[in-house]
Structure 1
Amino acid sequence: MSRMLRASAIMAAGTMVSRVTGFVRTIILAAAIGTGLMGDAYQAAYTIPYSILDLLILGVLSSVVVPMIVRAQQQDPDGGRAYEQRLLTIATVALTVVAVLAVLAAPLLIDLYTNWRPGSREFDVAVSLARFILPQLAFFGVGAIAGAILNTRDRFAAPMWAPVLNNLVVIGVLLAYIVVSAGRGDISKVTTSELALLGLGTTAGIVAQALVLIVALKRAGFSFRLRFDVRNARLGEMGRAGIWTIGYVVVTQLGLVLTTNLATAAGAAVKDHGLTPYNFAFQLFQLPYGIIGVSVITAMLPRMSRAVGEGRLDDVRSEFGSGVRLVTSVMVPISLLLMVLGPAITVLIFGHGASSPENAVYIGNVLQVFGLALVPFSIFQLLLRVFYSFGDTRTPVFVGAGTTAVNAVLMLVAYYTLPAAYVVMGLAFAYAVAYALGAIVAWTLASRRVQGLGGWAVGSALTRMYIAALPTAVVALGAVWGVQELFGALSLVNSLIILAVGGGLGGALYLLVAHRMRIPEVTSIVGMVAGRVGR
């Protein structure tokens, strides 16, 4: 576990800075365009390239591409170098073509992802933004392939730090938008030049991120040259392995399309209660997983793939067990804090500029519901990597399809039964329930594959973590109640006090209690931090 902890810590440091700068970016975005229709139009346009990338490449990176690169490095006479060059060539050409086609199809894509009427102001603004944002497809995809190659060479720093530059570029663009825009969050006043600034500035951030990864790849000893001998690119093998992963991504993207349609419909019915609050809350919910979970997965998957290739199932179980305990030791207290401190967090982050404190409170209510999903979602993602390490991309499709189907049914129930003001909260609750059930099913199937995942040991560890985190939740609840009793409704100052007491003191209390309870993962983290501070 110490090896995984060290590798994860290196990546988590870069990811932490990336997420912090990403937070600053989101704060400024909320201040610039608000949480109404202007915000929803930007969010809809911004969602599309990521959805396309998921369909084409990101969904198969960890499940297919990384294991195949590792295999080429182990088996090919040149250590897989030619294979990597072919892969990067194909990605560059294909994604450039896709980016051009996507720009041309922008009106159709916005019509697919929203329930807005073509010709309406919000629809036209979203289409304009999409045309400026969609060119980033080519650069983001190439950067993702470069990052995957770096990861297989145990070069984790650049992929984790490159997004920082992306965030800094976009932060500068958003500040410029605030300065030059007249209406800020008023969709009826925004001009074409202001939309160009927002859209092209967003794309410029991705271009900078891709360039950093390409430079890092060159410094790692990779010399790129175009290779069009696709017969040796193993596309058939990749297609057979990736078809199921693409199926999984298609299923999840159908769920995303339903989510964006329902959320934009809710936002049209009740101002500031639509897609933007959902996306902002989702970004905050994903932050802990992005820092810890992704770092652990990135370090864990190549080692599990090698262990499977060499028939070492004990090492697969050990890697997974260490990873899931390490991730949940952080996710458990954070999930409780999100459920208690959600509105205080979002008022501090979003309650200014074009977004009022009242709008920010609603984002916080959605975040509280998402807090329920943090632990099951993280475990679900770790479990999928067990299948991927075996080259099994089929089982995750069925698990993902079931999870998405449950999510879709529950979202429709929420949309048709809840008042419009509560629909987005209902969508978040549907997400939490679906991933809890999905994690149970995935665990059962993965356990059969590796002849046991140590369920009792993990369950016992989780129970101890929740016990250790209970005092944290009590302190956070006390802070919320006390501050609101003394000072009234949430404001920027009140939220800061609540977070300092409930979050800061509560988090420190969890570390102390967990350390005293001798929870190994927390003890390792505390020891590593103490050792670094003592140097």
Structure 2
Amino acid sequence: MTDAPSGERSLARSSALMAAGTVVSRVLGFGRAALLSGALGIGLAADTFQVANTLPNQFYLLLAGGVLNAVLVPQITKAASHDDGGHAFVNRLLTLSLALLVGATVVVTLAAPLLVRIFATREWNSDALGLAVAFAFICLPQVFFYGLYTLFGQVLNARGQFAAYMWAPALANLVAIGGLLWFKLAHPERVEVGDWTPGMIWILAGTATLGVAVQAAALWLPLRASGFRYRPVWGFRGVGLRSASTVAGWTFAAVALSQAGYIVTSQVMTRATHLLDVRDEGGAGLAAYGYAFLLFMLPHSLITVSLVTALFTRLSQAAHRGDSAAVVADLGSGLRMPAVLLVPGTVAMVVLGTQVARVAFFDNTPDESAAIGRVMVAMMLGLVPFGWLYLIQRVFYAYEDARTPFRLQVVVTVVATAANLVAATVDPIHTGIVVGLGQTLSNLAAALLGFVLLRRRLGSLRLHPSIRSYVRLGLASLAAGALTWLGVRLMESAGIDGRSWTGAFTEVVVGGGVFVVLALGLAHAMRVQEVALLLDPVVRRLRRRPS
């Protein structure tokens, strides 16, 4: 019992280190996205680069990322009990993974023309297809470097060193920002699809790939400093890789299913851009969807991912010991701790979403920013269920059960794809909103099923404290959101223009500040324990100050 506070402090420190790295990386990522969106807009040219630069992420996840994330931490945790501390096992696993990455990268790069045709609408003309393929040939080698980054990072995580893994993406963003500034200085006006030169293509796509390479290389020094030495070791029998391959197989299937669903999303959104381009109208296409997803992922990455990544090693250890009570306790922590910020954050983004998009994408027109903001708000409605699903999947992975997450992914893909097909039938100006709502519904359905399946495995999940916290946080946030909405309307009636950057910034700062005070204050008054833990130290300091 005496170890619990120490474990909580360790978890909090690890989460804080990762959160700090994520904050810096996300801030730089938004700078990068804002520069990219300002340089290309959200029209056809932007979609060609979005398709090409998204391909490495999709195929890295398909061929390596999901498998590595699901396999490495549980297997390395178990390998610590080996006579050599697990070094031979980890070297063998890394050798297999590196070979897989090299082969996969060569194959997908050679397949660039085919992949672009799969992910882009068939209605693109030859100029758009040619530009996207050129971008893709330069971007697809990122698959190898993303894989290398994950391999190094997961070994560091399994050794209890979390910070470098979360800070390295900041370097990738810095390199990409440098490339975008170079591009903007050389080409200050937006370039139409048919007017791109090889030099332009290499500046934009080449610096994006260079950034990912730097991100991977940055983990080598902390990995060596941790005492790990990589030596290629071939031969994979006799160290438990049969169970690892089983987990990897189901994880591969889940990620493959997810990427198949994304193909539909990409086709629907690029078609929307094409139809809007034909009508000479602006609106949300694939690029705008990608920028909205960046905004959506900020609170998830900053809060949920940081916490659950630190929690995952502990979950894996408890699952390996067969300690279901510890797993349930960690599940409860993983549900309640993020809720303090995620529940209010959801309401805040619904109230101030278009203004946040206007501030974040400062180099875009008000209409472009509003289009991004509307898609983001539709996604934000599912922020909390998305976090639930992420945590639930990690609990099953801790038990080396990747079959159940696959079943959950079936639900996500079926519901989201059904919504995407509906989105393809509406006016293209609304397509992105329907796609975002479908994402929300799909994550909610899968998360609810996940709770049912977890209860079958673990027995009582002791969710009453979590439900109580969510209800109180929800009521407090809705009340604060209503008052904030009224305040924003009053500011606009007083002359603040929410479509201008300065007006949107004013509404976000003033309205957001009022919302935070009201939401957390009301939640504290309603005795939400996690809010009390957050606010009580501040209150005590204020009370100790001399008057």
TM-score, with length taken from structure 2: 0.93
Cα distance between partner residues in 2 of 1:290 and 1:35: 24
Question: Which deviates more, 14-23 or 179-188?
Answer: 179-188
Superposed CA offset, 1:222-250 (max 9, x none): 11122223345654332212211111111
Instruction: Confirm or deny that 1:35 pairs with 2:46.
Output: no
Matched, 1:367 2:364: no
Report deviation, 1:408. Answer: 0.8
Distance 1:529 1:211, change over 3 A: farther
Give the match for residue 513 of structure 1.
Answer: 522
Aligned length: 530
| Residue identity in the other structure for 1:31 | G
Q: 1:351 to 1:14 in 2, by over 3 A?
A: closer
Q: For 2:14, what is the secondary structure of its paired residue?
A: helix
Tell me by how many angstroms 1:510 deviates.
Answer: 2.4
Q: Output the CA distance in 2 between the equivalents of 1:432 and 1:452.
A: 27
Among 249, 260, 273, the alignment partner of 1:254 is 260
Equivalence for 1:13: 20
Q: Please tell me whether residue 175 in structure 1 is matched to residue 184 in structure 2.
A: no
CA contact (8 A) 1:58 1:144 kept: yes
Amino acid at match of 1:388: Y
Q: Specify which of 13, 33, 51 is matched with residue 26 of structure 1.
A: 33
Residues 68-97 of structure 1: per-residue CA shift (max 9 Å, x gap):
111111x21111111222222222232122
Aligned with 1:348 (options 356, 359, 364) = 359
Distance in 1 between residues matched to 2:101 and 2:540, nearest whole Å: 45
* Paired residues of 1:34 and 1:185 also in contact (CA < 8 A): no
2:176 matches 1:189: no
Which residue of the other structure, out of 96, 101, 109, is the alignment partner of 2:107? 101
Pick closer, same or farther for the CA change 1:33–1:233 going to 2, 3 Å.
Answer: farther
Work out the CA distance in 1 between the residues paired with 2:62 and 2:440.
23
1:387 aligns to what? Answer: 396
Which deviations, in whole Å up to 9, do the C-alpha atoms of 1:381-411 show, x marking residues without a partner?
1111121111111111111102210111122
CA distance in 1, matches of 2:420, 2:491: 35
Contact 1:49 / 1:136 at 8 angstroms: preserved in 2? yes
Out of 64, 67, 86, the position equivalent to 2:71 is: 64
1:313 matched residue in structure 2? 324
Q: In the alignment, what sits opposite 1:150? A: 156
Aligned to 1:280: 291
Match of 1:357 in 2: 366
Offset at 1:532? 11
Q: Report which stretch shifted further, 480-489 or 220-229.
A: 480-489
Query: Which of 473, 496, 506 is the aligned partner of 2:505?
Result: 496
Match of 1:263 in 2: 269
CA distance in 1, matches of 2:65, 2:538: 33
Q: Is 1:476 aligned with 2:484?
A: yes
Kept in 2: contact 1:483–1:494 (CA 8 A): no
Is the CA contact (8 Å cut-off) linking 1:143 and 1:213 kept in structure 2?
A: yes
Partner of 1:212: 218
2:324 is matched by which residue type in structure 1? L
**How far did residue 116 of structure 1 move?**
3.7
Deviation of the 1:529 alpha carbon? 7.4
Partners of 1:263 and 1:390 lie apart in 2 by 37
SS at match of 1:88: helix
Contact 2:64-2:101 at 8 Å conserved across structures: no
Q: Please state how far the C-alpha of 1:190 moved relative to its aligned partner.
A: 2.0
Query: Which SS does the other structure have where 2:297 is aligned?
Result: helix
Give the corresponding residue for 1:460: 468
Q: Distance in 2 between matches of 1:285 and 1:370?
A: 7
Distance, in Å, in 1 between the alignment partners of 2:133 and 2:24 is: 32
CA contact (8 A) 1:402 1:438 kept: yes
Deviation, 1:196, is 0.7
CA RMSD of aligned residues (A): 2.0
Counterpart pick for 2:231 among 210, 215, 225: 225
TM-superposition CA deviations, 1:234-282 (whole Å, max 9, x none): 5433221221111111111111110000000001011442101111111
Supply the distance in 2 between the matched residues of 1:253 and 1:154 (Cα, whole angstroms).
Answer: 31
The alpha-carbon deviation at position 455 of structure 1 amounts to 2.4
Secondary structure at the counterpart of residue 219 of structure 2: helix
Query: Residue in 2 aligned with 1:403?
Result: 412
Over the matched positions of the two proteins, sequence identity in percent amounts to 33
Aligned partner of 2:348 in structure 1 is 337
Contact 1:86–1:233 (CA under 8 A) maintained in structure 2: no
**CA shift in 2, pair 1:474/1:192, >3 Å:** same
CA shift at 1:7, angstroms? 2.2
Q: 1:225 to 1:526 in 2, by over 3 A?
A: farther
**Deviation of 1:445 (Å):** 0.6
Q: Deviations over 1:340-370 (max 9, x none)?
A: 1111011112242xx3111111111111111
Q: Distance in 1 between matches of 2:193 and 2:53?
A: 16
**Does structure 2 conserve the Cα–Cα contact (< 8 Å) formed by 1:350 and 1:357?**
no
* 1:44-55 alignment, distance < 5 Å: 44-55=51-62
Shift of 1:212: 1.0
CA contact (8 A) 1:264 1:274 kept: yes
Aligned to 1:141: 147
Residues in 2 aligned to 1:233 and 1:180: alpha-carbon distance in whole angstroms? 55
Query: Are the counterparts in 2 of residues 143 and 210 from structure 1 also a CA contact under 8 Å?
Result: yes
Partner of 2:4: none
Is the contact made by 1:471 and 1:506 (CA closer than 8 Å) also made in structure 2? no
Aligned to 2:314: 303
Whole-angstrom CA distance in 1 between matches of 2:497 and 2:421: 36
Q: TM-score when scaled to structure 1?
A: 0.95
The farther-off stretch of 10-19 and 423-432 is: 10-19
Query: Could you tell which deviates more after superposition, 303-312 or 463-472?
Result: 463-472
Match of residue 243 from structure 2: 237
Change (3 A) 1:226 1:356: same
Q: Matches of 1:237 and 1:116 in 2, distance apart?
A: 42
Amino acid at match of 1:358: D
TM-superposed deviation, 1:426: 0.5
Change (3 A) 1:296 1:185: farther
> Does residue 442 of structure 1 match 2:445?
no
Aligned amino acid, residue 348 of structure 2: L
Q: What is the rounded CA distance, in whole Å, between the counterparts of 2:151 and 2:198 in structure 1? A: 34
Q: Which secondary structure state, in structure 1, belongs to the residue aligned with residue 194 of structure 2?
A: coil
CA shift, 1:115, in A, is: 0.9
CA contact (8 A) 1:278 1:363 kept: yes
Mean CA deviation greater in 89-98 or 197-206: 89-98
Q: Which one-letter code corresponds to 2:456 in the other structure? A: R
Is the contact between residue 88 and residue 145 of structure 1 (CA under 8 Å) also seen in structure 2?
yes
Q: Secondary structure at the match of 1:221?
A: coil
Which secondary structure does the structure 2 equivalent of 1:10 belong to?
A: helix
How far off is 1:181 after superposition? 2.1
The whole-number CA distance in structure 2 between the counterparts of 1:83 and 1:63 is 16
What is the DSSP-based 3-state SS (H/G/I as helix, E as strand, rest coil) of the residue aligned with 1:453? Answer: coil
Distance between the aligned counterparts of 1:532 and 1:323, measured in 2? 28
User: Cα distance 1:370–1:126, how it changes in 2: closer, same or farther (>3 A)?
Assistant: same
Report the Cα offset of residue 528 of structure 1: 6.8
Kept in 1, the 8 Å contact 2:498–2:507? The answer is no
Conserved in 1, the CA contact under 8 Å of 2:63 and 2:104?
Answer: no
